[in-house]
Copies of this chain bind each other. A is one copy, B any other.
């Protein structure tokens, strides 16, 4: 196995390893002794799930999250100098996409260290696939502003790009705010605009649904309480997509 920084995806939610990760990933993981992880506990749990007999005590973990001093992360790549590979594991899905791992990858690239991404579940790409929307041009925006006025302004900007640039727009929301986000979408976007809600991707209750704003409005009464909205829009990890 070549000495490199390996980017190691994990499962999304309570899914088996075999469902979402190639068996090759296990081989790579078992060849690595140094891991940069977003959360120690969940990284250890993941490694145990990959291989029950793994000797966690023989491994070295570096924690990298919002509490980590960014000036101190260079040294996480020191094992490379001795010929040892380093793995990066995030909290969910693919590392270095929407988590602090990207900072370490940037340092590795600057130093000319080889970086190898492994295959795993990405709610971004899987929702584009299943939405039926344009996959030749799409933009992921992470979280939108929390402030309602700013959020609406941003949504209008994204919707105008759907029409002017023929571009699919993706964004995420904190699970307990999914229903509120959908209500904002339905009161903000044009009736013919399509909205895809992709919830709990790869999990047993996965649900990926594309409907026009008009159709969603028929399903969810405009004056529905937050409690009622929960029936239609579950409070689970989800990604929203809009397109014409």
Contact = CB atoms under 8 A, between A and B. Distances in A.
The SS class assigned to the A binding surface is mixed
A128 to B, nearest CB: 6
Contacts of A22: 18-23
Contacts of A103: 132
Q: How large is the interface on A (under 10, 10 to 19, 20 to 34, 35 or more residues)?
A: 35 or more
A112 to B, nearest CB: 9
A136 B96 CA distance: 9
* Identical subunits present: 2
Contact of A122 (B24, B116, B122, B196): B122
Contacts of A106: 132-133, 210
Contacts of A23: 18, 22-23
Interface of A: 7, 16, 18-24, 94-99, 102-103, 105-110, 115-117, 119-122, 124-142, 167, 196, 201-202, 206, 208-211
B7 A117 contact: no
